[in-house]
Amino acid sequence: MSDMDRNFLKKPINLYLSADHDCSYLPDRQANSLFVDPERELTAEIYSELIQQGFRRSGSYIYTPYCKKCQECTPVRLNVQNFLLSRSQKRCKNKNKLITIEEKSPLYDAEHYQMYADYVRSRHAGGGMDEPDDDKYLEFLTSKWSETAFFEMREEGQLLGVAVTDIVDDGLSAVYTFFNPADEYKSRSLGVFSVLWQVEEAQRRGLQWLYLGYWIKDCQKMSYKENYQPLEYYYNHSWHDAPLSLL
């Protein structure tokens, strides 16, 4: 156990280091996480400060990777005010130009849950997430203290996906996106479209950042975040324009 005493906090926050466990992203590696005391009373304001220090939330738990022999998990954020679309991203937007987005409260919705269950069974088979539980669904995606929205994507009334997004002081945080995993929608790149829309939503709100979680160079599921530029990388207690591996 250790104490983190930041000027922006009224009192220190206790941090706990997890036991060694198998890494979810890189084979044959052991991982550890540093997480905020689950007994600490949290607020959206506190989280807004912690996310600027490289932390993320999963449900009500706030954590950051803190592995003993590895620094591959790097927090990243996108400067939305300077973002420029690539050609492929422009094509993605055009393919999905008929999609409408509506903000919903972070409450249980049977239609949302069924799509979430279909998505995790399709995309995370054998990874520990492929047995969804409707009792734990909202525990994973929401918390009692965060300012969270479910952005519902529909086309001609049909639900295509949901982007779960936290609103923090200086930006938006892309928590999780799930969408229709059917083969007929693969060419639509709905995950890419979700990120592009969240960029635009941050711009509309006059915010600077879209927090994208952790970038891992050698993990395909996490390295795609480099496709969104200009990206900033958090290490050595500050944000940088390039990853540590290039220095």
Residue 66 lies in a domain: no
Residue 242 lies in a domain: no
Per-residue model confidence as pLDDT tens for the chain (247 residues): 334 434 445 578 999 999 999 998 999 899 999 999 999 999 999 999 999 999 999 999 999 999 988 999 999 999 999 999 999 999 999 999 999 999 999 999 999 999 999 999 988 665 555 466 787 999 999 999 999 999 999 999 999 999 999 999 999 999 999 999 999 999 999 999 999 999 999 999 999 999 999 999 999 889 999 999 999 999 999 999 999 876 5
pLDDT of amino acid 74: 96
Token look-up 């324009």 returns 241
Q: Is residue 211 part of a domain?
A: no
For residue 74, being part of any structural domain is answered with no
Evaluate whether residue 161 is within a structural domain: yes
The Cα 54–Cα 6 span in angstroms is 14
| Residue 101 forms part of a structural domain | yes
Task: Give start and end residues of each alpha helix (H) in 96-189.
Answer: 110-123, 134-141
Global pTM reads 0.92
Q: What is the pLDDT of residue 237?
A: 93
pLDDT at 124: 67
Q: What is the pLDDT of residue 129?
A: 55
Q: Which pLDDT belongs to residue 191? A: 97
**β-strand pairing of 61-65 with 209-215:** unpaired
Q: How far is CA 190 from the centre of its chain?
A: 15
Look-up: residue for tokens 């922006």?
Answer: 8
Residue 125: per-residue pLDDT? 60
Full domain range(s) for residue 184: 79-204
Question: Residue 71 falls within a domain, yes or no?
Answer: no
**What's the number of domains the chain is made of?**
1
Return the CATH number at 94: 3.40.630
Q: Is residue 182 part of a domain?
A: yes
